[in-house]
């Protein structure tokens, strides 16, 4: 995981610069290739459509998709949360099946207001025939929020957009009194805590 | 066949908050001590400022042994049983003192004599129905020297409110008298906690900075707190949090009288035909060992203390070690969850800090105020504090002002995540007949040993006391300018970090497991350490009291060595 992450967060420039020194074959397995996803293309579209309605991209700023929530969930289900991969994918399939049953179309193809109606039905438990719809909704929502607001080390919170959205100024090793005042903006520290030495200075 | 080890003077089961303290006076006195710890040493460099790791996935605290022995919980003796949450039982050198909030309080004198004080002030009828509450066999004054020792040996920051009867309004004026000031000043406030502090004064209340086993300045060669905001369920990367892993345990090791056995999974305490304990059986890396000891001190955490006694049957103890009076597992209780959250109309920035960076109020705690006509006894400490993490903040209560998702949710959360906060409330809690620990009838750990089962219930006395405290907290938040306040519903406590009883301390073997010194009424060379010996909770965290009691038990053992060990 840690190795993967380091490769993935290398800047494009350093990747290109480094490529001259490293055989291409050695780089290939570490690249975030779509084929490594736990999601099929259809699953990915369904989840993306769900996430985009749960936390939309709008004039106020990026939404869940732009904050990298899908990449977080993908990595989590491939690793730390592998135990729930099957149930998560079943949830996505159930969502799509419910959409086809009630709207005669894939969830991702629906207009926004129809998607929202399905999210509401799931959230309130009104989605008839959609087993455990509330639990599925709650888990999707929870993991999407984790993806938006966790340390970028885990694949989400792209460019710290989630933390910027809520003005979380970022983990730091030591915090001064001036960084704990009310009504006073705190200068954001856009760094992952899990870089070299776990973010701690020794 | 178990491998027999070289006999020691004292085997201590569990090197956490309590066992980790007791080893120091024993080792200093020259006794040879074996510290049997199911976990390992943890490297402070591995402590991450990472919400997902610490708080969401609980990776610091979810270690294999504790994970496999999570107690089950049921609501009343006929309720369905479910697995409890994982958090409380940490296995590591230092135990839960690694990841706790490090709030380090003394109980009040009232907590030791609640029954007699309540009867004196309000009459027999004020005692809650069904409670098994009794006065402790010792009073505050007897424990005071040990509180003082812990505050200095472990290192506690705070401001005294009552030094030998002299009241100082800069500290907690309601505290019981102490012999001297804390060894360190209190942790600094934040903008938010300073604001709450001033508002409490305007209300005519008496706020103070709560004591913490966290360095506010360099102490014993370790630095002051850096307030980085990952204290709750996280270890301290600079060892400013005074877990026993950085304080009393290293000090005990220096004497060369303490040997620590890591990954030692204790399975039984063994007793002889005469009723005395002879040592401890443990499994390490697939092999079984027997550690003979003249004295055994059980310090494994409230749930495991009762469980290990109940599992350790033998000829003299057919119902479990030290359980011939049927008291093991009885008089168990846990603090209720009764938080109050609030929303302010501006950024309060409580991201960083630590939960002990707070303003606390005792005006509504214990028996500080007149309870006549209120219908309950006991009270609540109110404590707005810092430390909030981004996922937690984004998962905030929307107070009915926004839906749980969509553009309106986003619009709400982006404005308000930095404006929300929760206060921590702790309410006096008492033991009852029908709340207890025993062994689960079905659920077993991988060794085939039944796990601990918690039978819990909401009691009217505690519920009313919690609700009264919540109303006071709401009043405080509103006075401070909060635009929304929400009081959490009061439910039955589940598996808790504030778990008490099961091996209660008392003079009467028919109502307690250990005597006033912490030694078994039945097996004279078996002592029990931890909050499992406490008969009341007070309205505050248990750790310092369990540490003071642990030191006192060890001190008694040293002084009475010949009587107890032979």
Domain match, B273 and B417 both: no
Within-domain flag for B262:
yes
For residue B337, is pLDDT > 50?
yes
Q: In chain B, which residue's Cα lies nearest the Cα of A147?
A: B391
Task: Give the length of chain A.
Answer: 202
Q: Which two tokens stand for residue A33?
A: 């290739």
Please tell me the predicted confidence (pLDDT) of residue B319.
Answer: 98
Q: Taking a contact as any Cβ pair under 8 Å apart, which residues of chain B between 29 and 48 contact chain A?
A: 45-48
Return the exposure string of B491-508: e unless at least 16 CB atoms fall within 10 Å of the residue's CB, then b: ebbbbbbbbbbbbbbbee
Count of domains observed in chain A: 2
> Does the structure show a pLDDT above 60 at B475?
yes
**Residue A8 in this model has a pLDDT that exceeds 80:** no
Note the residue count of chain B: 566
**Which residue in chain B has the smallest CA separation from A140?**
B405
The pLDDT confidence band at residue B517, using thresholds 50, 70 and 90, is very high
The answer as to whether B237 is a domain residue is: no
What is the reported pLDDT for A35?
A: 53
Interface mutation vs chain B, best among A53, A136, A139, A171, most B CBs within 10 Å? A171
Long-range contacts of B112-120 (CB under 8 A, 24+ apart): B112/B136, B112/B138, B112/B139, B112/B140, B112/B143, B112/B536, B113/B139, B114/B367, B114/B377, B114/B378, B114/B428, B114/B430, B114/B536, B117/B367, B118/B367, B118/B377
- Final residue of a domain: which of B471, B491, B511? B491
Whether A96 and A189 share a structural domain: yes
User: In this model, does residue B310 exceed pLDDT 50?
Assistant: yes
CB pairs under 8 A between A and B: 144
Residue (of B390, B466, B536, B417) closest to B52 by Cα position: B390
Return the CATH number at B206: 3.30.410
Mean pLDDT of A92-104: 98
> What are the DSSP E strand ranges found in chain A?
none
User: Domain range for residue B18?
Assistant: 1-148+242-334+499-566
Domain housing A12: 1-31
Contact A177 B190 (CB under 8 A): yes
Q: Is residue B437 part of a domain?
A: no
Whether A19 and A94 map to the same domain: the answer is no
- Is the same domain home to B368 and B328? no
Asked if the model's pLDDT at residue A4 lies above 90, the reply is: no
B526 and B486 co-located in one domain: no
Which chain A residues are within 8 Å of B390, Cβ to Cβ?
A: 149-150, 162-163, 166, 168
Do B291 and B372 lie in a common domain? no
Same domain as A106, residue A20 = no
Instruction: State pLDDT tens for residues A108-145.
Output: 999 999 999 999 999 999 999 999 999 999 999 999 99
B-chain residues near A172 (CB < 8 A): 49, 228, 352
* A81 and A66 housed in the same domain: yes
pLDDT above 60 for A22: no
Mean of the pLDDT values across residues B504-512? 98
Residues A148, A79 within the same domain: yes
- State whether A14 and A91 are in the same domain: no
pLDDT class of B266 with cuts at 50, 70, 90 = very high
Residue of higher predicted confidence among B559 and A34: B559
pTM metric for this prediction: 0.93
A55 and A99 part of one domain: yes
A136 and A61, same domain (yes or no): yes
B45 with A166: Cβ contact below 8 A: no
Spatial distance between the Cα atoms of B361 and B204, rounded to a whole number of angstroms = 11
Q: Does any domain span residue B309?
A: yes
Q: Give the tens place of pLDDT for each residue, B412-449.
A: 999 999 999 999 999 999 999 999 999 999 999 999 99
Question: Looking at the structure, do residues A114 and A145 belong to the same domain, yes or no?
Answer: yes
What's the rounded Cα separation, in Å, for the pair B382 and B263?
39
B415 shares a domain with B321: no
Q: Is residue B161 part of a domain?
A: no
SS3 at position B360? strand
To the nearest whole Å, the CA of A23 is away from the closest chain B CA by 33
**Do A92 and A21 share a structural domain?**
no
pLDDT at residue A155, rounded to an integer: 95
Domain count, chain B: 2
Enumerate residues 6+ apart whose C-beta is below 8 A from B552. B143, B146, B517, B518
């Amino acid at each position: 995981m840690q190795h993967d992450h380091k490769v993935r967060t290398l800047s494009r420039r350093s990747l290109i610069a480094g490529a001259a020194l490293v055989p291409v074959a050695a780089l290939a397995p570490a690249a975030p290739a779509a084929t490594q996803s736990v999601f099929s293309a259809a699953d990915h579209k369904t989840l993306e459509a769900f996430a985009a309605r749960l936390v939309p991209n709008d004039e106020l700023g990026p939404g869940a998709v732009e904050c990298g929530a899908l990449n977080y969930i993908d990595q989590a289900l491939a690793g730390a949360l592998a135990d729930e991969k099957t149930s998560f994918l079943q949830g996505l399939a159930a969502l799509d099946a419910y959409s086809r049953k009630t709207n005669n179309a894939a969830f991702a193809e629906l207009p926004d207001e129809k998607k929202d109606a399905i999210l509401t039905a799931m959230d309130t438990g009104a989605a008839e025939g959609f087993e455990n719809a509330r639990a599925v909704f709650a888990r999707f929502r929870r993991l999407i929020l984790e993806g938006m607001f966790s340390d970028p080390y885990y694949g989400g919170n792209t460019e710290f957009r989630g933390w910027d959205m809520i003005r979380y100024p970022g983990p730091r090793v030591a915090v001064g009194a001036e960084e704990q005042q009310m009504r006073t903006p705190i200068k954001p520290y856009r760094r992952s805590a899990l870089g070299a030495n776990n973010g701690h200075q020794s | 066949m178990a491998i027999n080890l070289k006999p020691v003077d004292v085997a201590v089961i569990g090197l956490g908050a309590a066992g980790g303290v007791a080893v120091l006076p024993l080792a200093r006195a020259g006794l040879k001590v074996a510290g049997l710890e199911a976990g390992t040493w943890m490297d402070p460099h591995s402590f991450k400022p990472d919400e997902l790791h610490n708080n969401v996935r609980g990776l610091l605290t979810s270690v294999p042994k504790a994970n496999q022995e999570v107690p089950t919980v049921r609501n009343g003796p006929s309720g369905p049983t479910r697995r409890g949450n994982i958090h409380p039982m940490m296995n590591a050198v230092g135990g839960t003192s690694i990841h706790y909030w490090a709030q380090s309080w003394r109980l009040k004198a009232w907590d030791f004599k609640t029954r007699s004080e309540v009867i004196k002030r309000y009459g027999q009828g004020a005692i809650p129905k069904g409670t098994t509450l009794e006065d402790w066999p010792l009073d505050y004054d007897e424990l005071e020297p040990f509180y003082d020792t812990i505050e200095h040996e472990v290192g506690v920051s705070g401001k005294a409110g009552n030094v030998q009867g002299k009241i100082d309004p800069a500290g907690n004026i309601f505290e019981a008298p102490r012999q001297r000031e804390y060894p360190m000043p209190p942790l600094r406030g934040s903008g938010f906690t300073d604001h709450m502090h001033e508002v409490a004064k305007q209300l005519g209340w008496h706020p103070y900075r709560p004591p913490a086993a966290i360095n506010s300045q360099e102490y014993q060669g370790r630095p002051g707190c850096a307030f980085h905001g990952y204290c709750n369920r996280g270890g301290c990367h600079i060892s400013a949090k005074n877990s026993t892993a950085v304080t009393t345990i290293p000090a005990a090791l220096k004497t060369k009288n303490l040997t620590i056995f890591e990954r030692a999974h204790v399975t039984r305490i063994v007793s002889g035909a005469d009723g005395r304990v002879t040592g401890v059986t443990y499994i390490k890396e697939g092999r079984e060992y027997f550690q003979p000891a003249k004295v055994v001190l059980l310090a494994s955490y409230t749930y495991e203390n009762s469980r290990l006694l109940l599992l350790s049957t033998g000829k003299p103890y057919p119902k479990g070690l030290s359980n011939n009076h049927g008291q093991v597992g009885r008089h168990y209780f846990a603090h209720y969850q009764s938080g109050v959250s609030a929303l302010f109309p501006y950024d309060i920035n409580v991201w960083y800090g630590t939960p002990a960076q707070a303003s606390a109020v005792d005006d509504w705690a214990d028996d500080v105020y007149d309870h006549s006509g209120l219908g309950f006894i006991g009270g609540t400490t109110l404590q707005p504090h810092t430390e909030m993490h981004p996922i937690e903040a984004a998962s905030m209560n929307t107070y009915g002002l926004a839906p749980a998702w969509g553009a309106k949710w986003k619009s709400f959360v982006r404005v308000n995540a930095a404006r929300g906060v929760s206060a921590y409330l702790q309410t006096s809690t008492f033991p009852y007949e029908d709340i207890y620990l025993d062994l689960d009838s079905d659920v077993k750990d991988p060794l085939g040993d039944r796990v601990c089962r918690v039978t819990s219930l909401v009691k009217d006395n505690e519920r009313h006391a919690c609700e009264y405290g919540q109303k006071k907290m709401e009043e405080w938040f509103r006075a401070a300018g909060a635009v929304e306040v929400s009081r959490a519903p009061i439910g039955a406590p589940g598996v808790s970090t504030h778990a008490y009883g099961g091996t209660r301390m008392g003079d009467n073997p028919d109502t307690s497991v250990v005597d006033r010194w912490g030694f078994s009424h039945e097996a004279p060379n078996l002592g029990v350490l931890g909050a499992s010996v406490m008969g009341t909770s007070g309205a505050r965290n248990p750790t310092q009291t369990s540490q003071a009691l642990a030191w006192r038990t060890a001190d008694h053992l040293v002084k009475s060595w010949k009587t107890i060990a032979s």
